[in-house]
Chains A and B, each alone.
Chain A
């Protein structure tokens, strides 16, 4: 019982005090992602993939440094790094995002 209590205490502490989380999202070029309220996003790194077996790292300068709450993150329809892909249509982005809790 004590172990179970400790386990839930650990989860509660983690969710209450943790400020930053990291996750990966994918989106097609030209689409957008909306930052939820109460958090901000920073793109840590981004890759593009044209459906082949490899991802190309793209420059972070293609994105804003910080996306605020409710802001739309627009993935560019075209960028210079797409020239490195064999197929340029249906390119999708793999975004490594650090989310900061603003509360």
Chain B
């Protein structure tokens, strides 16, 4: 009996905790780079659909010289040498570029799913920062 119940219990237990939530559309949001840092609310998930370019530039080269910069002081991201320019956001204190490298590669592919409790920080440096981003907010439902 023990040998029968143990796998059964394991299947139920693992299934319960690995079950994926269902989503319900809640709202679309556009966040500007002058808005304060955003935290994904509890019970929600954000899907970043688009990251806006800082200006007319969309393709960025590698910086060959420069110094470390502190682009996200509001989020406590440490000073960093930004080797690749363009369209940065910081998600959970990790600076991420959404620009297109001059070799033709997208630095980070969209969409990005951001779980509840995560922090998204913008910056305002015209050469390095995203102008803003758009998200779809979903409710997580059973």
Partner pick for B111 among A47, A56, A86, CB 8 A cutoff: A86
**CB–CB B25/A56 < 8 A:** yes
B139 CB, min distance to chain A CBs, angstroms? 8
Partner pick for B25 among A53, A84, A86, CB 8 A cutoff: A84
Stretch with Cβ within 8 A of A (4 or more), from B15-23, B51-59, B85-93: B15-23
Task: Decide if B106 is an interface residue (CB 8 Å cutoff).
Answer: no
A9 CB, min distance to chain B CBs, angstroms? 27
Q: CA–CA, A84 to B138, complex, Å?
A: 10
Q: CA–CA, A25 to B23, complex, Å?
A: 18
Q: CA–CA, A54 to B24, complex, Å?
A: 10
**CB–CB B22/A56 < 8 A:** yes
Task: Decide if A81 is an interface residue (CB 8 Å cutoff).
Answer: yes
Task: List, in ascending order, chain A residues with CB within 8 A of B77's CB.
Answer: none
Partner pick for A57 among B20, B24, B111, CB 8 A cutoff: B24
Task: Decide if A55 is an interface residue (CB 8 Å cutoff).
Answer: yes
Q: CA–CA, A86 to B109, complex, Å?
A: 13
Given contact pairs A47-B22, A54-B20, a sample of 6 additional A-B residue pairs in the complex whose CB atoms are under 8 Å apart? A55-B22, A55-B23, A56-B25, A56-B138, A57-B22, A86-B111
Query: What 5 A-B pairs are tightest by C-beta distance, nearest first?
Result: A57-B24, A55-B22, A54-B23, A56-B23, A53-B20
Binding site for A on B (CB under 8 A): 20-25, 111, 136, 138, 141
